[in-house]
Structure 1
Amino acid sequence: MRDYMSVSWERVTSHLVIAASSHKRLRPGLLGFFHTNARPLQSFDSSFNETCNSQMQWKVPCPVLRNKLRVSIWEHVILAYRLYLETLKQSAVSAAEDSEWGLQSKINELFEG
């Protein structure tokens, strides 16, 4: 399962992990002002949907394994997502937290075939 997670989901969460590291997230702009890169969440969302859509038709007949896969994906994705949210300003956090439910819903649709 480790190889599956690495191949399928590391690519998805890498957008958030890279953005959360302070030296990548803050860059000096013109006139020396620092600004944040707003694209990581969009890149994550696009990659997440692409991965889910490609795996939506996969069939895992064993309910125990199917649930184990979903839980592993959820834990991996939500950890990166929450760590990224911690780097955002408080005003943006509440809007992004609402998206957590959307992630959970999409993951729960995986492997039904």
Structure 2
Amino acid sequence: MGYFRCMLRNRVSLYLVLAGGSRGNGDGDEATTPALALGGEGGIVADLISCLEAVLEEKSGELAFPGLRQVFMLNNKDAIVRRAVRSDLAMFLLSGWARAREERMDRYIKSYLDVSWTPVMSRLAAVAAKPATVTVLRRRRDPLATFNSVLENACSAQRCWKVPRPVLRHVLRRTVSEHVMPAYRRCVEEVEQPAAVRTER
């Protein structure tokens, strides 16, 4: 986050430069937010942050594991928002700037869930879709063996992924749990249900 540190170290100069173009229109009207006079939507500071975000998006494309790109962007987007709104840079940003980033973070979480956990969920769906064969399969092997294997692979792949902020870790764990556990319970109930009961449906 050297990008942010640079802006914060030079925030006074940055304020003066931006304010220079927004001292009023000659009729006594003063601009309310200096940064909004220059640059694109939100001003130069917002443009600079957008450039940083674009670089991060580009870097995330180099990550190979499904879901890691979303986690990488989630971590960095969260860090950007927290550092911006808790610093003097907040005065240069539009009121809806942080909310727009939070909505992007929600999309990263949804995308992470889709990319990382859809393959796992598909194994549960495959077991639930063939209840008539479950009894036969149980004689030879656990019908959930494939699911357990894919689940273990997913957990092993993500074990070293870092989410430094505890709040984000909690959100990700809760989201995965709410997505996977209900489907898992339904599948287990279907597998353990006597064949006669399934036939009567």
TM-score, with structure 2 as normaliser: 0.38
- 1:54 aligns to what SS in structure 2? helix
Work out the CA distance in 2 between the residues paired with 1:37 and 1:3.
34
Matched length: 83
Q: Provide the secondary structure at the position in 1 that maps to 2:161.
A: coil
Q: What's the counterpart of residue 5 of structure 1?
A: 113
- Asked whether the 8 Å contact 2:121–2:180 carries over to 1, the reply is yes
TM-score (norm 1): 0.64
Q: Once superposed, what is the RMSD of the aligned Cα atoms?
A: 2.1
CA distance change for structure 1 residues 36 and 25 in 2, over 3 Å: closer, same or farther?
A: farther
**Structure with larger RCO (C-alpha < 8 A, sep 6+):** 1
* Structure 1 residue ranges without an equivalent (≥5): 28-33, 92-113
Match of 1:18 in 2: 126
Secondary structure of the structure 1 residue equivalent to 2:144: helix
CA contact (8 A) 1:20 1:87 kept: yes
- Residue 102 of structure 1 corresponds to none
The answer to whether 1:53 aligns with 2:156 is yes
Q: Contact 1:16/1:40 (CA < 8 Å) preserved in 2?
A: no
Aligned amino acid, residue 66 of structure 1: R
Runs of 4+ in 1 over 6 A off after TM superposition: none
User: Which residue in 1 is equivalent to 2:187?
Assistant: 84
- Matched to 1:78, the amino acid is M
Q: Which structure's CA Rg is the greater one? A: 2
Separation in 2, partners of 1:61, 1:7: 21
What is the CA-CA distance between 1:90 and the residue it aligns to? 5.2
Name the structure 1 match of 2:173: 70
1:63 CA displacement: 0.7
Task: Give the deviation of 1:85 after TM superposition.
Answer: 1.3
- 1:42 pairs, out of 139, 142, 145, with 145
